[in-house]
Structures are given as C-alpha cells and as structure tokens.
Structure 1
Amino acid sequence: MKPLITYLFIFCSVVCFAQKNFSGRAVYQSKTSFDMERFNNRDMSEQQKKRIMDRMKNMLEKTYILNFNKTASIYEEEEKLEAPGRGGGFRFGGFTGGTQYKNTISKDFLEETEFFGKNFLIKEKVELPSWEMGAETKKIGNYVCYKATMLKKTDALDWQNMRRRSRGRDKKRKDDEATKKVTEDIEMPKEVLVTAWYTPQIPVSNGPGEYWGLPGLILEVNAGNTTVLCTEVVLNPKNSIDIKEPSKGKEVTRKEYNAIVKKKMEEMQEIWKGRRGGRGRGSRR
C-alpha cells in the first residue's frame, strides 16, 4: 500500500507542475576528496603538504546554485567574500569558476569560464546521458529519490580524478588498459562510475553541472572522488528567475578549449622543470 501512495503522490506532483509555468532554485554542496600521497614529492615536507591542503580547501569544497525552469538552467558557484589575507583563494592551474547553461530540449550547452586571465565561451551540443535506471530509492530532505547510474568518460581536464602515475612496470602496463596519461607524472581513469539520485516530485530533466536527462531533478551525484548534494530547494521563489544564455568570452568548442588548456599546461610543466633543474645545478656549486 505504501509504494502505491508514493507513486500516486509523485503522479499528482507531475500533473501539478505540468499545469503551470514554474521555476526553482537548488543549492548544492560539492566536496572532492584528494589524497596528497598521490602527488607525494620527496622534497615536500608534511608542513608544506598541510599548507597546500589548507589553500586547496576552497577548491575542494564549494557551494553552487542551480536556477531552473522547465527546459533550461544556469549553474554557477555561489559568490563569497574572501577573508582578509586569503589572497582570493587557491586557483587550480589558472582556472576560475564559471557559469554553465544548458537547455534540455535543444541540447545546447554553454560554459562561460576564465583561464589564465582570458575569458572563453564554450559552446557545444550534448547528447542525452546513457543512464541505467534502478528501482532503489531513498529520501533526500522531503523528496523521494530514485537511483540511476552510468559510466562516464573522463574529460582531459577532469582534475578531480587525476592521480600520480605508477612507477612499477607491471602495474603500469596493467593500469594503462583502464587509465590515460595526462602528463609524465599524472594519469586518470578513462571512465568513472556516476551514481545519481533524482526525484520525479520535481519533474524537470535537470541537475547540477553536466548532469541531466532523468525524469526528475537530480539531488545528489557521486562521481569518482566528488559528491554533489542538494541542501535546499525553493520552488517558484518570490523573486522571479531570469535564465539567460551566457555570452562573455571568446567562442570556442570544447575540443578547442581543451587544446588551449593542454598547451598551456605543457608550457607550465616545462617552465617548472626548468626551474627545478636550475635549483639542482645551483646546489652543486
């Protein structure tokens, strides 16, 4: 009897939302686990590691806002005032947080981002994610959520899942089947398992960041080392939500942008190697 009541409640929610225009705002907390041992450097003391981790906390724990309507959404990091002396926080490789727009009908995806002081507008058409629907349920807040999973190919810039390359020959050969080389010292898995929890009680095919394509708003995502959890949902807020496509920056495709970033990272790696080599030569004198 209880499952029947649940399904009836969900059905009524879908009918209710379908009969009127609506919008909403969802707040998400994103946390990424990061093991410094993966990037263990013999020249780095425990104190230096701790200092780096303290600086990285702003990058590993973030708050995002998703503004959405029936067909489109804007996803961006919540603006926060930096504490005095923090120097604007830690930026990974020159990246700064941007704005992501997606339209679930036209399948247009736009991302406005900044990289080493230059603004870019990434434009692409996205395909419907290949979710595998499950029957397992759980409650997040007041919402009944259903489980869905998929294997996602990692992006070249997916730093959350990067790890130090193995030095053991046999292990390295084995890992190469499931991992890809990022640099001489860093690799990442070719695929990660993504687990999403969505609620048909909010029948929009949307969710945080790149995740969408389910018959309900995605309230939780677990992907590799990162968990994104919705902590608040406000439907039809008093202040109207205006969702506009971002337009700032040089227009590029995802492939073009990745190539730009890869080239810059290689340049920075060469500079870093040169500096380390210079220190090494100086130490022999």
Structure 2
Amino acid sequence: MKKLLFVFSLLFVGIYANAQDKPQFLEVDYQMEMKLDADQVMASVPAAWKAQVEEPLRQEIKNGIFIDYKLKTNGTESEYKMQEKINNDQTPAGLILQQMTAMDKEPLFKDIKEKYFLKPYNVGKAYLVKDSLKTVNWKITKEKETIAGFDTYKATGVMNDSIPVTAWYTPKINIKDGPDRMWGLPGLILKAEFEMNGAELIIAATKVAVKEEEIKITKPSKGQILTEKEFMDEMLAFQEKMKEMYGGGVDSE
C-alpha cells in the first residue's frame, strides 16, 4: 500500500511540474495615453514652422493622444507592437501621432529569461537596438486596483536610474513581463505610469486573452546593431543636422 501511495505521489508531482513548465500564451491589449504641455512642445518647434503647426498641435494635445499596443507572449519571449488604426472619417492623424507611428511601427522584442530586448528602427537607414533589460528595484505595496478584470497590486521603482515609475501587476498571471520595457514583477504588469522627455505616459491594459494555440514570437535580425545609448546619440546628431539645414533652431523667447 505504501508503495502504491508513493507511485501516485510521484505521478502527481510529475503532472504538477509539467503544468508549471507549460508555457502560457497570452495576447494583451494596452492603450497608452500621452499627456503633454502645449507650451513646452511649442518651445521646441523651429521658429520657421511655428505659425504653420501651432494651432493643430495645440488642438491635438487638447483632444488627447492615445495609442494602442498589443503584447504577445509565450511566457519567456514577447512582442510589443503598436496597432495602427484605420481612420474611417478620412481626417488626417495629428502631427504628434504621425511622428510616433513613424518611429514606433516596428515591434519591441523581449527575452525575459536572457534579460535583453531588440527594437528595430528605420529612419532612412535600418537600425537594430540591442540592450539589456534594466533591473528595477521594485517596492511592492498592499494597494490594489482592478484592471482589465484582474486584481492588481501597486509597485513603485526607478527606471534607467532616474525615471520614477508606478506599476500595477497581477500575481494571477505568472509572467514577469509587461508593456514596453516594463518587466521584473512577480506577475504580468497591466498598468504603468511614468514621465519621460516632458511627457506623462499612462499605459493600461484593456483586454487579456489566453490562447490555447502556440504564439510564435519573431526575433528581429535586420539593421545595424547599436546599444540604446548609441542609437540615441546618433538620432540627436541627426536632429542637429536637420536644424542646421532648415535654418536656425527654436525661439529663444
């Protein structure tokens, strides 16, 4: 009898271990809200363009800037991609939204196990940013909020050594992933709030779908490989060249 119980206990442990090892396939819809200070945005616009773009820029900021993303994950690898909307009313997208779409149309690839990400950009030339996923020293609180039908817990930390971030994660989904470069909490991050480059960003999940079929994540491979800092330095140099070409920077008032 003892031997029989021992065999059954081994069988149960084996089933439980296999269930734990089985990858989870999820698709999560997120919406990012971008809040900007109109005066600060206008201060960065070259004087030669200001009269032409001021009114539409201020109106776009007033109306609110919302961008949809989708996270596809198998538990260890993920793809986070902007979802371009079909504009049924035929009105042109706002200037800021057009720029965001142009710069962010390629998916972000994350490998949670190996702790790195890949992000392609095509700005007249193909680049592939490859860098480590920065570790955030998260402080988990007891504060709770329901997001996309899940109970979540609040956590705070600092990204990139200087950007305070607030995140909400659900322990019910045991994946240490989240929107954009968010990761590292004991559960999927369903909401993140932080400020970057003068913009207040709020990224919140609107829908979580569990998939039975395997989700295949495509790993980007094309483009000149740079670290994130190297890429930003190159883009800043390009921006300075553009200012020189179009004569004269921003207002100094």
**Alignment TM class, shorter chain as reference:** 0.7 to 0.9
Counterpart-to-counterpart distance in 2, 1:193 and 1:27: 24
1:47-74 superposed Cα distances (whole Å, 9 cap, x missing partner):
9533124567999310000001121110
**SS in structure 2 at match of 1:102:** strand
Offset of residue 95 of structure 1: 2.6
Counterpart-to-counterpart distance in 2, 1:269 and 1:122: 25
- 8 Å Cα contact 1:56-1:90 kept in structure 2: no
What residue in structure 1 maps to residue 92 of structure 2? 86
Residue-pair matches, total: 225
Output the amino acid matched with 1:136: E
Runs of 5+ unmatched residues, structure 2: 1-15
- 8 Å Cα contact 2:38-2:61 kept in structure 1: no
Counterpart-to-counterpart distance in 2, 1:53 and 1:249: 36
CA RMSD of aligned residues (A): 3.3
Residues 112 and 58 of structure 1: is their aligned pair in 2 closer, same or farther, counting only changes over 3 Å?
A: farther
1:153-205 superposed Cα distances (whole Å, 9 cap, x missing partner):
48xxxxxxxxxxxxxxxxxxxxxxxxxxxxxxxxxxxx332000000000100
TM-score, normalised on structure 2? 0.76
What residue in structure 2 maps to residue 140 of structure 1? 147
Residues 56 and 138 of structure 1: is their aligned pair in 2 closer, same or farther, counting only changes over 3 Å?
A: closer
What residue in structure 2 maps to residue 242 of structure 1? 216
- 8 Å Cα contact 1:59-1:91 kept in structure 2: no
What residue in structure 2 maps to residue 232 of structure 1? 207
What residue in structure 2 maps to residue 124 of structure 1? 131
**SS in structure 2 at match of 1:97:** coil
Residues 51 and 203 of structure 1: is their aligned pair in 2 closer, same or farther, counting only changes over 3 Å?
A: same
Counterpart-to-counterpart distance in 2, 1:124 and 1:273: 35
Structure 1 position 108 matched with structure 2 position 116 = yes
What residue in structure 1 maps to residue 173 of structure 2? 202
- 8 Å Cα contact 1:59-1:90 kept in structure 2: no
What residue in structure 2 maps to residue 271 of structure 1? 245
- 8 Å Cα contact 2:35-2:61 kept in structure 1: no
What residue in structure 2 maps to residue 35 of structure 1? 37
- Percentage identity across aligned positions? 28
Output the amino acid matched with 1:269: K
- 8 Å Cα contact 2:134-2:159 kept in structure 1: no
Offset of residue 82 of structure 1: 4.4
Offset of residue 37 of structure 1: 1.5
- 8 Å Cα contact 1:23-1:241 kept in structure 2: yes
1:200-242 superposed Cα distances (whole Å, 9 cap, x missing partner):
000100000010000000000011200000000001255x311
Structure 1 position 98 matched with structure 2 position 106 = yes
What residue in structure 1 maps to residue 80 of structure 2? 75
Runs of 5+ unmatched residues, structure 1: 1-13, 155-190, 278-285
- 8 Å Cα contact 2:136-2:158 kept in structure 1: no
Offset of residue 87 of structure 1: 7.6
- 8 Å Cα contact 2:77-2:111 kept in structure 1: yes
- 8 Å Cα contact 1:145-1:197 kept in structure 2: yes
Structure 1 position 218 matched with structure 2 position 151 = no
Output the amino acid matched with 2:194: A
TM-score, normalised on structure 1? 0.69
